[in-house]
Amino acid sequence: MRMAYDATSLLGPRTGVGLMATRLLEGLAESSDVDVVAFANSWRGRGELRSLTPAGVTVVDRPLPARPAHFAWRHSGFPPVEWLTGRVDLVHGPNFLVPPSRHAARIMTVHDLTAVHHPEMCTPHTRTYPAAIRRALAQGAFVHTVSEFVRREVLDVFDADPAQVTAVANGVDAIPEADPAIGPRLAGGRDYILAIGTIEPRKGFPTLIRAFDALAAANPTLRLVIAGPNGWGQAEFDHAIEQATHRHRIVRLGMVDEAHRASLLRGARVLAFPSRYEGFGLPPLEAMGAGTPVVATRAGAIPEVCADAAELVDVDDADALAGALDRVIHDEALREQLVARGRARAGAFTWPAHVSGVLAMYRRAAVAS
């Protein structure tokens, strides 16, 4: 089977979508019955894709400006992916948009339905996703979701044929060993709560800041560390910090590299994941794999992903979040239970299983088309 893969997410800062693309392409490159051709929708990233793509994947580096291409694909179904790749049997768009094709089966990955349930948390671009999903389904495309929760949402919201929608969970990378001194040095102290994610309304960081402020008075050495790139909706985040009594103990790190991320995860007393909606949720699994207990919200797919390996609280409930964090920080028996359950839970999500599941979906789609 010769297939085309939109590898645009490999360019720029590595997000969860970029990690999924990297691990999937690595696995596909090792498969004897798949010939993968990668391309990117990027003018600024032209020429970079070849150096970022796993060995064994053919790279087409013909520049394709993203905005004009997306506009054309949404409104005219042109140009077909074969214009870039030559004839293919299947094309996979891993980030809410699958290019048109003359003859190939088409697969779109849907990571969440934030744009359906919380359009106020979305940018104008991401608010175009529901129409793209609906159009792809109507044209016979297959949808890959990263959790069973999102699969059920796609079936319900778009009245999709269950045969068109398949859930294959992401894997989680093993967190590398790290210098135990780096995390506390970055945090400014050894006693810290860690949060990881892009600063955007969906991630619920203002609630976490209020919860931390409630804990900080009784815990004079406790700090809150928030690592991740700036997104949109920064004003609400900044206002929450300005209003915090103990804002001098809130550490904003921005994007961190892999080594610093590992050190922060391994050194934290607890990972807080206060998201208001998630289609999967990778940081909790990373923390579990590093032996760090997790407190998260009952948002979207988080209960499915974390199961009984995390303390879960209601969305936007700062008091409940503060209480759960306090218990996990100070109750050693609870910590030990969560660490043991967390390691087992993280071990259940592997990239080989992800690659195998997606390959099986490819074969079904190719036969059905």
Tell me the per-residue pLDDT of 146-196, one tens digit each, with 9 for 90 and over.
999 999 999 999 999 999 999 999 999 999 998 888 999 999 999 999 999
CB atoms within 10 A of CB 280: 23
Query: Is a pLDDT exceeding 80 seen at residue 100?
Result: yes
In a domain, 227, yes or no: yes
Query: Is a pLDDT exceeding 70 seen at residue 43?
Result: no
Tell me, yes or no, whether 18 and 164 share the same domain: yes
Query: Is a pLDDT exceeding 70 seen at residue 66?
Result: no
Tell me, yes or no, whether 312 and 263 share the same domain: yes
CA separation for the pair 325, 80 (Å, rounded) = 51
pLDDT band at 284 (very low <50, low <70, confident <90, very high): very high
In this structure, what token pair is assigned to residue 366?
């190719």
Question: β-pairing, 105-110 with 90-93?
Answer: parallel
In this structure, what token pair is assigned to residue 329?
């920080």
In a domain, 60, yes or no: yes
Tell me, yes or no, whether 208 and 281 share the same domain: yes
Tell me, yes or no, whether 16 and 159 share the same domain: yes
Tell me, yes or no, whether 208 and 336 share the same domain: yes
In this structure, what token pair is assigned to residue 83?
């214009």
Residue matched to tokens 């099986």: 360
**SS3 state at 191:** coil
Query: Is a pLDDT exceeding 90 seen at residue 129?
Result: yes
**pLDDT of the residue at 46:** 65
Tell me, yes or no, whether 227 and 295 share the same domain: yes
**What is the average pLDDT value for the chain, to the nearest integer?**
92
**pLDDT of the residue at 12:** 77
| In the chain, % of residues over pLDDT 70 | 96
**pLDDT of the residue at 65:** 66
Tell me, yes or no, whether 27 and 147 share the same domain: yes
Beta bridge partners of 145: 110, 167
In this structure, what token pair is assigned to residue 52?
């970022």
What angle do the packed helices 351-368 and 16-29 form, to 10 degrees? 70
In a domain, 290, yes or no: yes
In a domain, 177, yes or no: no
Tell me, yes or no, whether 238 and 363 share the same domain: no
Tell me, yes or no, whether 57 and 150 share the same domain: yes
**pLDDT of the residue at 14:** 74
**pLDDT of the residue at 102:** 87
CA separation for the pair 183, 187 (Å, rounded) = 6
Tell me, yes or no, whether 338 and 356 share the same domain: no
Tell me, yes or no, whether 113 and 242 share the same domain: no
Whole-model pTM: value is 0.92
Mean pLDDT confidence for 76-84: 80
Q: What is the DSSP letter of 54?
A: P
Tell me the per-residue pLDDT of 233-266, one tens digit each, with 9 for 90 and over.
788 999 999 999 999 999 999 889 999 999 999 9
**pLDDT of the residue at 47:** 76
Residue 214 and residue 319 in contact, taking contact as beta carbons nearer than 8 Å: yes
**pLDDT of the residue at 214:** 96
Residue 291 φ/ψ region, left for φ over 0, alpha for ψ in the -120 to 50 degree band, beta for the rest: left
CA separation for the pair 206, 199 (Å, rounded) = 10
CATH number for the domain harbouring residue 340:
3.40.50.2000
| In the chain, % of residues over pLDDT 90 | 76
In a domain, 53, yes or no: yes
pLDDT band at 94 (very low <50, low <70, confident <90, very high): very high
**pLDDT of the residue at 78:** 73
R_g over Cα of the chain: 21
What angle do the packed helices 318-330 and 332-347 form, to 10 degrees? 100
Cα four-point dihedral sign 290, 291, 297, 303:
positive
**Biggest alpha carbon distance in the chain?**
65
41 or 59: which leads in pLDDT? 59
In a domain, 263, yes or no: yes
CA separation for the pair 332, 337 (Å, rounded) = 9
Beta bridge partners of 272: 295
**pLDDT of the residue at 75:** 67
Q: What is the DSSP letter of 116?
A: H
Residue 324 and residue 295 in contact, taking contact as beta carbons nearer than 8 Å: yes
Burial zone of 315 (CB within 10 Å; 0-12 exposed, 13-18 middle, 19+ buried): middle
As a three-state string, the secondary structure of 119-155 is HHHCCCCHHHHHHHHHHHHHCCCEEEECCHHHHHHHH
- Mean pLDDT: which of 13-22, 42-51, 123-132, 165-174 is highest? 165-174
Q: C-alpha angle 270/263/334, rounded to 5°?
A: 25
Cis? peptide before 79, omega within 30° of 0: yes
pLDDT band at 30 (very low <50, low <70, confident <90, very high): very high
Tell me, yes or no, whether 235 and 318 share the same domain: yes
In this structure, what token pair is assigned to residue 292?
């760090």
Sheet-wide strand order for 250-254: 250-254, 223-227, 192-196, 270-273, 294-297, 311-313
Give the count of domains, the chain. 2
Q: Which domain holds residue 273?
A: 182-347
CB atoms within 10 A of CB 117: 15
**pLDDT of the residue at 45:** 65
In a domain, 176, yes or no: no
122 or 242: which leads in pLDDT? 242
Query: Is a pLDDT exceeding 80 seen at residue 112?
Result: yes
